[in-house]
C-alpha cells in the first residue's frame, strides 16, 4: 500500500507541477544589438535610404550635444541622450517619428537619468534657437502660443514612447572613466595630449552606432589606439596592450574605421534631410491607403467563362448562374413579423385607434393679466368684455 501511495503522489505531483517563470536578467552593462537588426532598420523598411538615415542620426546627435552645452549639462548626460537616440531609431522609423521631437525627448530623459533635470520649456527654447542658427535666420524668441503647447505635448509623449520602446533600460555605461583608468595603467597619466584626444574621439564616436555594437571597454581601447597612432606614441605589442582590457584587434580596427569615416562625410543641410523624410512619408502614407482599400474593397472577377466540351455535349449551366439579367428589384429584408413588400403592403392607418383627448389649454401671461384687470369686479365672470378677452372659459378653475 505504501508503494502504491507513493506512486500516486508522484503522478499527481508531476501533473500539477508549477511552470517555471521566465527569467529576468538585471545587468548594468549596455544593451548590444545583433547585426541582423543593424542591417535592416525600420526606416529602411519604410522606404528611407541608408545614407539619409545615417545623416539623420549624425544631425540628431549633433543637436543633442549642442543643446546640452547651451543647457549647461554634464558631458555624461549629453552622451546618454545620444545613446538613447541611437537605440530608439533601431526600433522605430524616422519616417513616422520626427527627429527633432525625439532629440528633445532624449535630452529631457537623459538629464533626468544623470540627475541634472532641465525644464521642457528650456529644452524647447534651446532647440528653437539651434534651428534658427543653422538655417541662418533672424533669431527671435519662441512665442507662447498654441504651437508651443502642441510641441510641448509632443515632447512629453515622445519621452514616454522612448521609455516604452527601450523597456525602461536607460542606464548607459560610458567609457569616460575607463579611458583615464587605462591610460594610468599604461603609464600615461601625465600625458594630457593623448588623454584629451582620446576623450575627443570618444565624444565623436557617439554620432555612430558603435555604442550599440561594442562594449565600452573596447570603445575606450579604440579611442586610445587612434590617439596613439595620431600622436605617434608607441604602445606595447608583445603581448598586446589591449589584451589586458579584454579587447581584440579586429573590433578595435572596426571601431576606428567607423570613427574615421565620420570625418569624411560632407556637411548636410537640415532642410534637405527633412524634405527627403517628408517625401518618404508621403509614399508611405500612399502605400498604406492603397493597402486599406485593397482590404476593404477586394477585387472580384465577375466574368465566368464556361468552356465548350470537344465531344459536342452541351455543358450544364448551374442554377445560381443566370444567362439573362432580370430588371426585378431585390426584395427588401424585413422583420419576421412583417411580410415582404411585394405580397403585403403595410397600411398607413394606425393599428389601434385611440380616442383623441381634448388638450387642456394652459393660461398664459396675458390671461393672467386679464384676470387681474377684472378681479375687482364683483360679477367679472359674466362680463362680456372679459369673456371676449379670455382664451379659455375654464381657466378660472386653475385659480
Q: Please write the tens of the pLDDT for every residue from 291-320.
A: 888 887 665 555 545 555 555 545 444 454
Same fold, 32-172 and 175-274: yes
Rounded Cα–Cα distance for residues 269 and 258 (Å): 22
Q: What are the pLDDT digits (tens) for 118-162? A: 999 999 999 999 999 988 888 888 888 889 999 999 999 999 999
Residue range 236-255: mean pLDDT, rounded: 89
Reading the block at residue 249, the C-alpha cell is 584587434
Counting other chains too, the contacts that 147-153 makes at CB distance below 8 Å and 24 or more residues apart are 148/124, 151/101, 151/124, 152/120, 152/121, 152/124
pLDDT for residue 369: 53
Please indicate whether residue 360 or residue 33 has the higher confidence score (pLDDT). Answer: 33
pLDDT for residue 143: 86
> Which band of pLDDT confidence, cut at 50, 70 and 90, is reported for residue 390?
very low
Residue range 274-301: mean pLDDT, rounded: 81
| Mean pLDDT over each residue of the chain, to the nearest integer | 78
Helices (H), the chain: 2-15, 35-39, 42-45, 50-70, 75-88, 99-113, 120-134, 146-165, 176-186, 192-205, 216-231, 249-264, 270-296, 365-374, 384-389
- Identify the burial level of 159 via C-beta atoms within 10 angstroms of its C-beta, where 0-12 means exposed, 13-18 middle and 19 or more buried: buried
pTM to 2 decimal places: 0.67
Reading the block at residue 164, the C-alpha cell is 516604452
Share of the chain above pLDDT 70, in %: 67
The residue written with cell numbers 466540351 in the block is 309
Q: Which CATH superfamily is domain 175-274 in?
A: Cyclin-like (1.10.472.10)
pLDDT for residue 20: 54
Q: Is a pLDDT exceeding 90 seen at residue 257?
A: yes
Rounded Cα–Cα distance for residues 333 and 327 (Å): 18
264-288 in b/e burial notation, b at 16+ Cβ within 10 A? Answer: eeeeeebeebeebbeebbeebeeee
Q: What are the pLDDT digits (tens) for 153-212? A: 999 999 999 999 988 888 888 888 899 999 999 888 888 899 999 999 999 999 999 999
Q: Is a pLDDT exceeding 70 seen at residue 379?
A: no
Contact 194, 233 (CB under 8 A): yes
> Which band of pLDDT confidence, cut at 50, 70 and 90, is reported for residue 322?
very low
Rounded Cα–Cα distance for residues 54 and 94 (Å): 11
Ramachandran bin of 47, using left for φ above 0, alpha for ψ from -120 to 50, beta for the remaining angles: left
Contact 83, 211 (CB under 8 A): yes
CB-facing half-sphere around the CA of 299: CA atoms within 13 A: 5
Neighbours of 7 (CB within 10 A): 10
Contact 151, 177 (CB under 8 A): no
Which has the minimum average pLDDT: 20-29, 132-141, 214-223, 382-391? 382-391
Rounded Cα–Cα distance for residues 367 and 81 (Å): 80
Neighbours of 31 (CB within 10 A): 16
Rounded Cα–Cα distance for residues 380 and 396 (Å): 11
Smallest CA-to-CA distance from 126 within 191, 67, 38, 212 is with 67
- Reported CATH class of domain 32-172: mainly alpha
Q: What are the pLDDT digits (tens) for 107-116? A: 999 999 999 9
The string of DSSP letters for 39-83 reads HS-HHHHTT--HHHHHHHHHHHHHHHHHHHHHTT--HHHHHHHHH
Domain ranges of the chain: 32-172, 175-274
> Which band of pLDDT confidence, cut at 50, 70 and 90, is reported for residue 31?
confident
> Which band of pLDDT confidence, cut at 50, 70 and 90, is reported for residue 11?
very low
Amino acid at each position: 500500500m505504501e508503494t502504491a501511495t507513493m506512486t500516486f503522489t508522484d503522478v499527481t505531483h508531476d501533473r500539477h507541477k508549477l511552470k517555471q517563470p521566465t527569467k529576468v536578467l538585471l545587468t548594468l552593462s549596455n544593451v548590444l544589438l545583433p547585426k541582423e537588426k543593424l542591417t535592416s532598420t525600420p526606416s529602411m523598411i519604410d522606404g528611407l535610404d541608408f545614407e539619409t538615415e545615417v545623416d539623420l542620426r549624425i544631425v540628431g546627435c549633433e543637436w543633442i550635444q549642442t543643446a546640452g552645452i547651451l543647457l549647461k549639462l554634464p558631458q555624461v548626460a549629453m552622451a546618454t541622450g545620444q545613446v538613447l537616440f541611437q537605440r530608439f531609431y533601431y526600433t522605430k522609423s524616422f519616417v513616422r517619428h520626427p527627429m527633432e521631437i525625439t532629440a528633445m525627448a532624449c535630452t529631457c530623459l537623459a538629464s533626468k537619468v544623470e540627475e541634472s533635470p532641465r525644464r521642457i520649456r528650456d529644452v524647447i527654447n534651446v532647440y528653437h534657437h539651434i534651428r534658427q542658427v543653422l538655417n541662418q535666420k533672424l533669431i527671435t524668441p519662441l512665442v507662447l502660443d498654441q504651437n508651443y503647447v502642441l510641441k510641448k505635448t509632443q515632447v512629453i509623449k515622445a519621452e514616454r514612447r522612448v521609455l516604452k520602446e527601450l523597456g525602461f533600460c536607460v542606464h548607459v555605461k560610458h567609457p569616460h572613466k575607463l579611458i583615464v583608468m587605462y591610460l594610468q595603467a599604461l603609464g600615461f597619466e601625465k600625458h594630457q595630449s593623448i588623454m584629451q584626444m582620446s576623450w575627443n574621439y570618444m565624444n565623436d564616436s557617439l554620432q555612430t552606432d558603435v555604442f550599440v555594437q561594442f562594449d565600452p571597454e573596447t570603445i575606450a581601447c579604440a579611442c586610445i589606439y587612434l590617439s596613439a597612432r595620431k600622436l605617434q606614441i608607441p604602445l606595447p605589442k608583445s603581448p598586446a596592450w589591449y589584451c589586458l582590457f579584454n579587447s581584440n584587434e579586429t573590433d578595435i580596427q572596426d571601431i576606428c574605421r567607423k570613427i574615421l569615416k565620420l570625418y569624411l562625410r560632407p556637411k548636410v543641410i537640415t532642410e534637405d534631410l527633412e524634405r527627403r523624410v517628408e517625401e518618404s512619408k508621403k509614399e508611405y502614407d500612399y502605400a498604406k491607403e492603397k493597402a486599406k482599400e485593397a482590404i476593404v474593397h477586394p477585387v472580384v472577377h465577375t466574368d465566368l467563362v464556361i468552356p465548350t466540351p470537344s465531344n459536342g455535349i452541351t455543358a450544364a449551366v448551374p442554377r445560381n448562374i443566370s444567362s439573362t439579367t432580370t430588371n426585378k428589384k431585390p426584395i427588401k429584408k424585413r422583420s419576421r413579423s412583417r411580410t415582404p413588400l411585394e405580397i403585403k403592403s403595410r397600411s398607413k392607418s394606425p393599428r389601434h385607434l385611440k380616442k383623441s383627448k381634448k388638450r387642456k389649454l394652459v393660461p398664459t401671461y396675458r390671461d393672467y393679466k386679464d384676470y387681474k384687470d377684472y378681479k375687482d369686479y364683483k360679477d367679472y365672470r359674466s362680463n362680456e368684455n372679459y369673456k371676449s378677452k379670455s382664451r379659455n372659459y375654464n381657466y378660472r378653475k386653475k385659480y
